[in-house]
Structure 1
């Protein structure tokens, strides 16, 4: 049986659990049978209806006590333990999906970025799921706060690119917490510059305004050159307060994991729920609005 789903990743504090909660509610509104699977052994505060929890297999506190490891080492140990015990995940996923005609699964993953840039366990687990006919899309959440600082934005660009190359899945990068972006101050450029990852040389030039960052201008320029040479990155802004923004994300993700092509009837439901999606979405993030708001 084909199972569609999302692999929700992102740095700590990027809003992965909140995203899963909102996405679960939105997809249920569209009539989909949605399950959320928590694969973060450090996340014991779940705000969504959890169908399967890694805490039933292992958790970070037990590993820290029994193996005398720190938080980061314990998290790596837990993920590697999950990889070694993939049958546990496979069997439990079969239990929760076997009675559903079209199951859809959200996987809530840990926030430790090394798991996606340096270690292979997450990648191996995903590849095993794909071999079981899981059609997955990796959703990488980046806190929109990083748009307010050029040096931090360059860092998340490199992180996002490294993750895309390592995970090897259809990828949708999302700026989360766009409803809070006004609190972070005025952006150096309009929103399109950041979402489309336009000419980053303009961004590098702004580093001269900071004496400390100016020392590393050449390094940041080389990083930007690498990002632009690959030309893989783009971002989608997500404002959870706007229904049209949520539905737009669902549409993009459906194209990425292939759900769209087998369930075209869902697009009509989305248009009825979200209104005229493209019109609302463009109105939310026009350049004129960016100039006024940011």
Structure 2
């Protein structure tokens, strides 16, 4: 039987753990059995109760103490350890076919862009017909800095290509935009829809040397050539936005097509989507 879920990734501080907590509440309101898996060996202060917690087997702190590794090296060691036991984790998931899974992942970006451990873990999940959608959380404050925004676009594109999963990219903490909105060059929908990046780079020419200005343009052209990244703006503590994300995820991983008998749930999602009045066109 097909199992569905979300792989929640993103840089440190983007709101992954908070998203898991709030999504669990939202999904329970939609009458789904929800289970959370913690795959972050550095997160030992969980505000939720995971059905599988990698900290029960290995932690970054233990690896640092016993092997003398630094934080990044210890985390990579932990993830390679998890990779070795991915089939066992998959078997435990397989016994919960009536559950919808949220997988809370570490914040180290290299795990999703060039390291193979997460990719190999996902291959083990494929064996049990575990259909995941990757939810990539990006802190919206990156929009206030041209270089950081371009970097997040590159990271998101690389993760989409590396993991080869359906992706939903989320611009989180959108409720804080008012605090730095004056730093945005354009309205917020410019950043969520990833419009012509040349305008953004040219608008910041004074703050960039000619060398880095040209480099930024070249990187922007790579992003635009792939044309993969768009964002859903969200305050992940607001149920309206969680439903919007869930609607996108259900379409991406095929949940709505498998469970078409849940017509009332889909009608609720569509109704909320139609009634949302949040305006992304913030004047700055």
Unaligned runs of 5+ in 2: none
Matches within 5 A, 1:5-44: 5-44=5-44
- 1:251-290 residue pairs with structure 2 within 5 A? 251-266=247-262, 268-269=264-265, 271-272=267-268, 276-281=271-276, 283-287=277-281, 290=282
How far does residue 243 in structure 1 lie from its aligned partner after superposition? 2.5
CA contact (8 A) 1:244 1:275 kept: no
Partner of 1:72: 72
Residues 38, 105 of structure 2: 8 Å contact kept: yes
| Displacement of 1:267 | 5.2
Query: Separation in 1 of the partners of 2:260 and 2:111?
Result: 35
1:190 aligns with 2:219: no
**Following TM superposition, by how much is the alpha carbon of 1:94 offset from its aligned partner in structure 2, in angstroms?**
3.5
Task: Determine which of 123, 130, 133 is the counterpart of 2:126.
Answer: 130
Q: Which stretch has the larger CA shift, 239-248 or 74-83?
A: 239-248
Runs of 5+ in structure 1 lacking a partner? none
Secondary structure at 1:28's aligned position in 2?
A: helix
User: Deviations 1:226-284 (Å, cap 9, x if unpaired)?
Assistant: 00000111111112343322111100000011101122344533544x68323333x20
* Secondary structure class of the residue paired with 1:141: strand
Provide the rounded CA distance (Å) in 2 between the counterparts of 1:275 and 1:253.
Answer: 13
Q: Does 1:166 align with 2:175?
A: no
Secondary structure at 1:216 match in 2: helix
The corresponding residue for 1:49 is: 49
C-alpha contact (below 8 Å) 2:38/2:53 kept by paired residues: yes
Aligned ranges 1:112-131 → 2 under 5 Å: 112-131=108-127
Residue 25 of structure 1: how far off its partner (Å): 0.6
Q: How far did residue 185 of structure 1 move? A: 2.9
Any conservation in 2 of the 1:240–1:246 contact (CA below 8 Å)? yes
In the alignment, the residues of structure 2 paired with residue 243 and residue 14 of structure 1 have an alpha-carbon distance, to the nearest angstrom, of 18
Question: Which whole-Å CA distance do the structure 2 matches of 1:58 and 1:166 have between them?
Answer: 26
- Deviation above 4 Å: which 4+ runs of structure 1? 212-215
User: 2:18 touches 2:236 (CA, 8 Å); kept in 1?
Assistant: no
Q: Secondary structure at the match of 2:171?
A: strand
Distance 2:143 2:175 in 1: 13
Q: TM-score, normalised by structure 1?
A: 0.91
TM-score by length of 2: 0.94
Structure 2 Cα separation of the partners of residues 235 and 188 of structure 1: 17
